[in-house]
Amino acid sequence: MKFTQSDVLNRLPTQFFASLVNKVSKVIAEGHDVINLGQGNPDQPTPPHIVAALQKAAANPKYHKYSPFRGYSFLKEAVATFYKREYGVTIDPEKEVAILFGGKAGLVEIPQCLLNPGDVVLVPDPGYPDYWSGVALARAEMAMMPLFAENGFLPDYDGLKEEVVRKAKLMFLNYPNNPTGATATKQFFAHTVSFAEKHNICVVHDFAYGAIGFDGKKPLSFLQTKGAKEVGIEIYTFSKTYNMAGWRIGFAVGNENVIAAINLLQDHLYVSLFGAIQEAAAVALLESQQCVHELVAMYESRRNTFIQALREIGWNVIAPAGSFFAWLPVPNGYTSETFADLLLEKAHVAVAPGIGFGEHGEGYVRTGLLTSEERLKEAAERIGRLQLF
């Protein structure tokens, strides 16, 4: 028998990057050495002290039972300590923290927590495609906020149509930004709070790359902005800061009404995370952050090596200010997808076409700094041999 999928599932966006994986796999299967810069999967292992904490905690019979529905208090207290230490932001651990099954889960859940069918969500374009998934599951509608290089890849709220803003109930932001590598300013976040207050919009700041800023500049937390907790939340993940992508743990912090909504939804979906993972996550937040400093230094060195190598082949590129991505302009005569296909087929270098991140991603490709400096230099050399620049 064949059963029909629900209308909700049929509304989900096509997974653009599944086709990229298939293309890369095909070239590898043909025996070629592919340098894969198209993915966002951290290449370094989780720091040993965090792994050791999990190993020890996994033997504790306390964690072999169901965890508290809304997570252990010790982890929420660790989150509050982390935000006070890193950003000077005071967080109520019981009212203003929700433990998540990875940052992605929170981003997909939040539209279902706050929206009704037909409600409008402001979404960055280009932006992380899973924002679209949560909107589709909530049967809401998207209004795109174009991000342009000349505006530092920050949305221009004054350029949005009045009728769109009037209907909007939720807005996604993401700085440091995926895919552009841009960072936000104090002035922009202050403007965002004013805009959200005026139009009664909940702001969801995706802070996945919050630890990764370059040139001595630490990325700003949205919650550092006066009034930010009144208008929204921030979602943080352990995946990038601590190389814990496979552990599937993150958290949301901020407006207590929004946090309560997330917790309520998750009460019906999960029985919280394995307690040993929560204990290891608390260790990550509370103990030495030297591993984070070393990781950021490694990404900055990779960035510098890669950008310099690209400039040496004549590619006029801008170095990212944060994240572990570089956003590179496509040469004349190509779309982002035809250019990505050319690099894969002729240079055996995989990149992500900008169109996969939205209409305004056209004209760019995204590359990840998630391999060694030697391989990044080799990727640039392979591209250079195509004599496109």
Give the pLDDT confidence of 338-377 residue by residue, as tens digits: 999 999 999 999 999 999 999 999 999 999 999 999 999 9
Q: Which residues pair with 123 in a beta bridge?
A: 144
What residue spans define the domains of the chain?
7-45+291-384, 49-286
Torsion angles phi and psi, residue 4, rounded to 5: -80, 135
In this prediction, residue 14 carries a pLDDT of 82
Token pair of 57 as six digits: 């905690």
Q: Which residues pair with 329 in a beta bridge?
A: 364
Residue 18's pLDDT band (cuts 50, 70, 90): confident
User: Does the structure show a pLDDT above 90 at 16?
Assistant: no
Average pLDDT over residues 240-253: 97
Residue located via tokens 């969500």? 121
Q: What is the mean pLDDT of the chain?
A: 96
Residue located via tokens 């800023």? 213
Longest dimension (CA), the chain: 62
Give the pLDDT confidence of 287-338 residue by residue, as tens digits: 999 999 999 999 999 999 999 999 999 999 999 999 999 999 999 999 999 9
What pTM does this model have?
A: 0.96
DSSP one-letter string for 349-366: EE-EEGGGG-GGGTTEEE
Q: Does the domain at residues 49-286 carry the CATH identifier 3.40.190.10? A: no
- Which CATH architecture is the domain 7-45+291-384 placed in? Alpha-Beta Complex (3.90)
In contact, 36 and 357? CB cutoff 8 Å: no
Cα separations (Å) of 322 from 299, 340, 365, 369?
A: 9, 23, 17, 11
In contact, 211 and 219? CB cutoff 8 Å: yes
Q: What is the DSSP letter of 262?
A: H
